[in-house]
Structure 1
Amino acid sequence: MLDRVRCVVVSVALTWLVVAAGCGVLGSCSSEVGAAAPPGMVRIPGGSFRMGCEDAEARPDERPVHQVRVKAFWMDAAPVTNDQFAAFVRATGYRTEAERPVDPATLRAQLPPGAKLPAVIPAGSLVFKAPVERRDLRSMTWNDWWEWVPGACWRHPEGPGSDLTGRGAHPVVQVSWNDAVAYARWAGKRLPTEAEWEFAARGGLSGKRYPWGDVARPSEVCCHNIWHGDFPYRDDNLDGFRGTSPVRSFPPNAFGLYDMAGNVWEWCHDWYRPDTYARRAPVQDPRGPAQGFDPDEPDLPKRVTRGGSYLCSAVFCAGYRTSARMKSSPDTGLCHTGFRCVRD
């Protein structure tokens, strides 16, 4: 409890610094800041910031650091929850991609020529499974801990036998980019651009590693839900959670946004390219490249995800750094990926 209190103190201090500075670190604040907030959303003032990272820990796709400007917008204070997504499904009858049988023709178009597929692929999704055999982490790939589980979907995140009991306030997972877009349109919103997401996550702190500063655990405080321990074998549960946590379980950043580091990866609007920043021309409200390209899987274009998740470890991806980028195919759901929405 004392650790959590310390984290709150850090968050409150940052909030007052941004307010006291008159948003000077961000550029001019929007004149609409005083407008009535849509339920569950906070106003993000427009401004400019240095996007990306040049630190030694930064991956090549986070470079070069470049100046970007974004207009003011509203953002969900927290990721969309299971309860919120359930309301959308009740109202529309929507079935997520993980709940629909996989079309072999569609899947074949995403795979190299000659790849063999079964005639029928049951509906399902990808679920994390800790490897049984211990190996050098450097020799492992995502295939070593992700498993296709028939029946896994947003209602059954870990597959048949799992459900949402007691998880109404947890972020919805096992939703694809396409599912997230469908929800956003129903709600009268949209997905954030990658630039909007990073600007909001920084909360006015220029060049910092995390939404609260440069230290992952200030004074041994856990300010986010990530993997603590021997990844991918043992999570020591230092943050109090295994798997997803209820949204707003940790203090917000200075803009009032929760879970901008850890808990679940969040879908963004943009297509993914590793050289996006090197190719970037627009500095005002960039919306990403026209097409996606991932050299690791050239036949499978991907969308950007941001923020890291409960499966992120300091010794593996450290995806909870504010500048860290990840990618996934837009029709794929995963047990550690959700989303939040924005509106203009």
Structure 2
Amino acid sequence: MKKYLFNPYVLCLVAFASLTSCSNSNKNTSRATGWQINSKEGGFQYNTNFKEQETAPGLVFLEGGTFVRGKVQDDVMHDWNNTPTQQHVQSFYMDETEVTNKMYMEYLDYLKSVYPPDDPAYANIYQGALPDTLVWRNRLGYNEVMTNNYLRHPAYAEYPVVGVNWVQAVQFSEWRTDRVNELMLEREGYLAKNSKYAVVNGETQGTFSTETYLNSPENVYGGQIDSLQGKAKRDSTNVFAKRSSGIIMPSYRLPTETEWEYAATALVGTREYNNYRGRKKYPWEGEYTRSGKRKNRGDQLANFKQGKGDYGGIAGWSDDSADITAQVKSYPPNDWGLYDMAGNVAEWVADVYRPIVDDEANDFNYYRGNVYMKTSIGEDGKVDIVGRDGIKYDTLSNGRIVARDLPGEIAMVPINENDTYLRTNFDRSDNRDYRDGDKGSTRYYDMFSDDGELDDSKRMYNAPENKIERDSLGNIIKQIDESNSRTTLINDEVRVYKGGSWRDRAYWLDPAQRRYLPQYMATDYIGFRCAMSRVGSKAKEKKTPRH
């Protein structure tokens, strides 16, 4: 009689393989119908192997949580407009550094290649994206070296871009989204290798738009996407990627004010168990702007104006190594790993400015500025794609012309009463003045009156209304509001900017400080950085036992 010896290691291997097989089988079998998911024969296709969101280029992950937003330091400006409120922020990603000149130059190069300025149909696209280099000029200062060199000279390549208004920052973020998703699709085999260069090199007349790809992929690249398909996907069931593929990244965007303040304050470094240890005056610990560490004791921790006529200190070891802006990463990062969250340049955020934060209405992902839009559907029932002759431009209040939608993108329109009928969470498209500045917020409002309109003198925010019009020849006519009855500069097109800059004193380095400018204005001290929402789990790593 034969005796069989059983190796315990072999048994473990067989058991593990069996469990793995069962696991793979289960996740590809529908718990709703029992049908196979991702079957080669067809049926429901879904990315069952997705683990978590990939960190996109340039970004740092920030785990969300609760914190007290608002000013707790001395309010020497006497404009207590950011009173402390407890808020909760979802996990998100933010740029490690401010957007640099080199990053923005890549954007300009793309626009110039794809939409040549000498083509009459595209004349205003490139011009509308150009930073205003004249912001460096001063009536009593010689700054022409920055006017002529700061944006383009390689000596300033890794310096933060300035002269960019809020609208331009938003459009850069949209462009960046498309370029990154184009790269992701190429990497995963949905697009042929180096297809991302086809548009720039003039090999195809169309361009790539993320939303167009998701809603009407056959119209991407001017309808020539078939020639740019990845070989591995041509005969596959998954010819095009979808949101359910888990490959398409969420949009790059400007951070909300709450996100920015949460990121800059970086209380994660002072966390003890389930509490924060004290408050922080700056993005770093301590009450001073100089380092107390033995290795670099006395070094400035940010680039800011130290006093009247003092933009960097006395030349030598004790200065901040910058007179205007500084190269990014010149100073230590905060506890999130983010650089220059104080000093260097102030930064645009997404929010419309209002003096108060209405935490009674919301304390979760607080943001003022929502304008809900939807895709435009044509008479044929298909989405409207912006064509060469369908580009629409906005004329900003200062006369600058910017493209609203680029060719190849989906046209967007405001939601209407059919979309909001019997809804309780929103009832209109434009919510920028919700509960603060709309006619229902003023003490003069009478909801039962026949005429719901209010004259300008009784509105809560009756900022000047400068108008831009064009005559029959297309010439711009500027009409400045010279009324003496205006009581504020606040309207729905002023945006918050946060953080101190190279022009600011240390007071403005406090992450809770907030200021505002019209969204069409650009300066030599405001830049920006991008953010991206986190999808899926709150944390990237599983929680470990405390003991």
Residue aligning to 1:332: 521
Check whether the contact 2:159–2:325 (CA below 8 A) recurs between aligned residues.
yes
Q: For residues 41-80 of structure 1, what are the structure 2 equivalents within 5 Å?
A: 41-57=59-75, 59=77, 60-80=79-99
Quick check: 1:210 aligned with 2:285? no
Match 1:281 to one of 358, 361, 365 = 361
Q: 2:499 aligns with which of 297, 307, 312?
A: 307
Of 331, 346, 349, 1:265 maps to: 346
Partner of 1:95: 126
Task: In structure 2, give the amino acid aligned to 1:179.
Answer: Q
2:311 paired residue number: 235
Q: Does structure 1 residue 173 correspond to structure 2 residue 254? A: no
User: What do the CA deviations read for 1:38-60 (whole angstroms, capped 9, x no partner)?
Assistant: 22111010101000013223653
The alpha-carbon distance between structure 1 residues 169 and 54, as it changes in their structure 2 partners (threshold 3 A), is: same
Distance 1:240 1:185, change over 3 A: same
Q: Which residue of 279, 295, 301 maps to 1:223?
A: 301
Q: How does 1:129-144 map to 2 (within 5 A)?
A: 129=138
TM-score, normalised relative to structure 2: 0.44
SS in 2 for 1:64: coil
How much does 1:33 deviate? 11
Larger radius of gyration: 2
Question: 1:84 matched to which residue of 2?
Answer: 103
> What is residue 255 of structure 1 aligned with on the other side?
336
Instruction: Report the alpha carbon displacement of residue 300 of structure 1 after superposing the two structures with TM.
Output: 8.2
Consecutive unaligned residues in structure 1, runs of 5 or more: 1-31, 101-122, 133-146, 150-155
| Contact preservation (8 Å) 2:135, 2:147 | no
The one-character-per-residue Cα deviations of 1:234-286 (angstroms, maximum 9, x if unpaired) are 42432010111111111111111001000001110000112x22565210001
Change (3 A) 1:96 1:263: farther
CA contact (8 A) 1:50 1:65 kept: yes
* Per-residue deviation, 1:326: 1.3
For 2:211, the equivalent position in structure 1 comes to none
Secondary structure of residue in 2 paired with 1:95? helix
* Identity, % of aligned positions: 29
Contact 1:97 1:331 in 2 (8 A): no
Asked if the contact 2:137–2:147 (Cα under 8 Å) also holds between the matched residues in 1, the reply is no
Secondary structure, in 3 states, of the residue corresponding to 1:159? helix
> In the superposition, relative to structure 1, how do residues 130 and 34 fare at CA in structure 2: closer, same or farther (>3 Å)?
farther
What is the one-letter code of the residue matched to 2:362?
P
Question: Are the structure 2 counterparts of residues 270 and 96 from structure 1 closer, same or farther at C-alpha, using a change threshold of 3 Å?
Answer: farther
Distance between the aligned counterparts of 1:175 and 1:184, measured in 2? 12
Deviation at 1:186, TM superposition (A): 0.9
2:291 and 2:360 map into 1 onto residues whose CA distance is 35
The one-letter code sitting in structure 2 at the alignment partner of 1:198 is: E
By relative contact order (CA 8 Å, sep 6+), the higher-ranking structure is: 1
Tell me which residue corresponds to 2:417. none
Structure 2 partner of 1:343: 532
Quickly say closer, same or farther: Cα 1:310–1:296, change in 2 above 3 A: farther
* Aligned residue pair count: 264
- TM-score after normalising by structure 1: 0.68
Structure 2 gap segments, 5+ residues each: 1-49, 113-124, 178-251, 271-275, 293-297, 314-318, 370-431, 438-460, 464-486, 534-547
Residue 195 of structure 1 aligns with which residue? 258
Structure 1 residues 208 and 33, CA gap change in structure 2 (3 angstroms): farther
* Alignment check: 8 A CA contact 2:346 2:499 kept: yes
The code of the aligned residue for 2:254 comes to L
Q: How many angstroms apart in 2 are the aligned matches of 1:327 and 1:33?
A: 40
Change beyond 3 A, Cα 1:332–1:158 = farther
Per the alignment, do residues 162 and 261 of structure 1 end up closer, same or farther by CA in structure 2, a change over 3 Å counting? closer
Residues 1:38 and 1:342: Cα distance change in structure 2 (over 3 Å) = same
Query: Which structure 2 residues correspond to residues 141-180 of structure 1 after superposition, within 5 A?
Result: 158-160=146-148, 164-165=152-153, 166-180=155-169
